[in-house]
């Protein structure tokens, strides 16, 4: 159970702290480069997937904490 909580925390942390740098660097990179290397495409896709999962985890926790008949426990 400890490893699962750590992975959820890690994904949420990465999504919260690195989403803007991922997207800013990605957009600058898109304007100056042509994606011809499969590694660049997969890395970009992977970073966006991590951010999307982190966003969903944060939304799930927020939703659980703001329900009217909930005792403010977060889902983990």
Looking at residue 15, its pLDDT comes to 83
Looking at residue 34, its pLDDT comes to 64
Exposed, middle or buried, 46 (CB in 10 Å: 0-12/13-18/19+)? exposed
**Higher pLDDT residue, 8 or 41?**
8
Per residue in 42-54, pLDDT (tens digit) is: 777 888 888 888 8
CB of 72 closer than 8 Å to CB of 65? yes
Per residue in 24-76, pLDDT (tens digit) is: 776 666 666 666 677 777 777 888 888 888 888 888 888 888 777 655 555 55
Q: Residue 1: pLDDT band by 50, 70, 90 thresholds?
A: low
């Amino acid at each position: 159970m400890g490893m699962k909580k750590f992975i959820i925390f890690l994904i949420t942390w990465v999504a919260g702290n690195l989403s803007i740098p991922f997207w800013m660097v990605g957009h600058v990179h898109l304007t100056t480069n042509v994606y011809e290397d499969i590694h660049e495409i997969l890395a970009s896709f992977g970073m966006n997937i991590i951010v999307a999962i982190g966003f969903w985890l944060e939304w799930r926790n927020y939703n659980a904490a703001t329900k009217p008949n909930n005792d403010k426990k977060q889902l983990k």
